[in-house]
Structure 1
Amino acid sequence: MLLLSIDTSIRGCSVAVHNDAGLIAGYDLFADKSSSAMLTTLIKNSITDAGYQLNDIDAVAIAKGPGSYTGLRVGVSTAKGLCYALDKPLIAINTLEAMALQVGSFFPGHLLCPMIDARRMEVYCAVFDDQNQFVRQTEAVILDETSFQDLLANHKIVLFGDGSAKCKPIFGEHLNAIFLQQNIKPSARTVGELAVKAFDAKQFEDVAAFEPYYLKDFMSPARKKTSALV
């Protein structure tokens, strides 16, 4: 089994190649913009470094979101194009679930709350236990003093990701709130770990119908101006 995994949930991109034994190649490139040219180069380099050709892969895995509208479109379009061209199945992994997998083993007994920055005081987030099982499903949250109040009352929660900085002024002094110093970013490496399990369970997507998990409707600058006039 050979899987190619892609994550473009935030600016930049990440690519990884896994086989039955685990990770065998990967690149993370976090730049100021998401670019299909950057992504294509990383895919080529990852496959070459792994010692394979694109035709050798058995499936393509994509971080489906939530995250950047532009980034998700670039990643999903690329993944679907590869699936069509190579006649391979598509696997979709929740971005936040893959982020939680990066840190869970370091915090046994804690809850994990990966956060991706959205607009103003809003974040995309979910809450997981230390076995990477959902405690609270993915949602867009406008942060205030009541956010996570019920969970913080009885659990230590590790908050991380680029959205977590918005939480510090609100409950940074709470004894049960733990903020990581490291900037944990979405990565195809843990997307691939979850995708291996999904592949074994034959959890594939309909390539033609699949769309990114935007979580909220995209509103372009033109639509924002129109809405303001109504």
Structure 2
Amino acid sequence: MASEKIYILNIETATKNCSVSIAENGVTLLCKEIAEQGYSHAEKLHVFIEEILEECNLTAKNLTAIAISQGPGSYTGLRIGVSAAKGLCFALDIPLIAVDTLESFARQVDKTDGLIVPMIDARRMEVYSAIFNSNHEKTRDVEAEVITEESFNDIKENIYFVGDCSEKCKAVLTKENFIFLENIIYPSAKQMSQISFDKYKKNDTVDVAYFEPFYLKDFFMAK
């Protein structure tokens, strides 16, 4: 059992980044992704899945489970990713794993101090965000919040901000302990690998028929 190979296909479509990875026992083997101004998920997602399996010398039948980034994020992007994941799970009769988008996003930050705040743009000065410590443990749950000069003022330690809304947030979040890591823009399927593997080992899966993405806001408010 110790030598069993668990292959999980990870799908991340919550933002403009269309990202797919394949992982063996929690280690990313290969990732394909593209972030374009116009959402290209419908055109790219299935192509990436086919290419990634072929390049890893695997077939869909080798997959143990599918993991999907559950949101929050773009309504359209989430729908496309979830539909693809559900279709594969039904066809292959394998489990579906839901991964918190902001948790996997936070894992791109490798710091030994302070807090991590991944943010996804939600129109105007609003963002979807959560707070994690340097061990990537969530210390404040996901919120849709309007960023003002008062935001995060009660936190004295360093805060590392990542996301596609850094430019607009930098204008109001100006304290010395506010640090923007501008090279980290979108969540990626790379960081889903360990999370989805840990969930699989705990049998932490979702119902393929009834699972819905975590939109956080109503459709008419989504970007």
TM-score (norm 2): 0.93
Letter in 2 for 1:159: F
SS at 2:119's partner residue?
Answer: strand
Letter in 2 for 1:48: E
SS at 1:132's partner residue?
Answer: coil
More helix by share: 1
Structure 2 gaps, min length 5: 1-5
2: CA distance between counterparts of 1:111 and 1:205? Answer: 29
2: CA distance between counterparts of 1:89 and 1:21? Answer: 16
The residue number in structure 2 matching 1:92 is: 98
Letter in 2 for 1:27: K
Report if aligned partners of 1:113, 1:128 keep a CA contact under 8 Å in 2: yes
What pairs up with 1:37-186 in 2 under 5 angstroms?
37-103=43-109, 105=110, 107-151=111-155, 154-172=156-174, 174-186=175-187
Q: Aligned-pair distance for 1:164?
A: 2.5
2: CA distance between counterparts of 1:207 and 1:121? Answer: 35
Q: Aligned-pair distance for 1:145?
A: 1.6
SS at 1:65's partner residue?
Answer: coil
SS at 1:131's partner residue?
Answer: coil
Deviations 1:55-94 (A, max 9, x none): 1100000000111110000000100111001101000011
2: CA distance between counterparts of 1:146 and 1:21? Answer: 39
Aligned residues: 216
1: CA distance between counterparts of 2:176 and 2:67? Answer: 38
Task: Tell me the percent identity.
Answer: 41
2: CA distance between counterparts of 1:208 and 1:150? Answer: 42
Structure 1 gaps, min length 5: 222-230
1: CA distance between counterparts of 2:114 and 2:78? Answer: 29
Q: Aligned-pair distance for 1:37?
A: 2.8
Q: Aligned-pair distance for 1:11?
A: 1.8
Report if aligned partners of 1:159, 1:179 keep a CA contact under 8 Å in 2: yes
Q: Aligned-pair distance for 1:167?
A: 1.7
2: CA distance between counterparts of 1:129 and 1:163? Answer: 20
Report if aligned partners of 2:65, 2:94 keep a CA contact under 8 Å in 1: yes
TM-score (norm 1): 0.90
Letter in 2 for 1:11: K
Between 162-171 and 68-77, report the one with greater CA deviation: 162-171
User: Which 4+ stretches in 1 moved above 6 angstroms?
Assistant: none
2: CA distance between counterparts of 1:96 and 1:220? Answer: 19
Q: Aligned-pair distance for 1:148?
A: 1.1
Q: Aligned-pair distance for 1:165?
A: 2.2
Question: Residues 124, 163 of structure 1: CA spacing in aligned structure 2 closer, same or farther, 3 A cutoff?
Answer: same
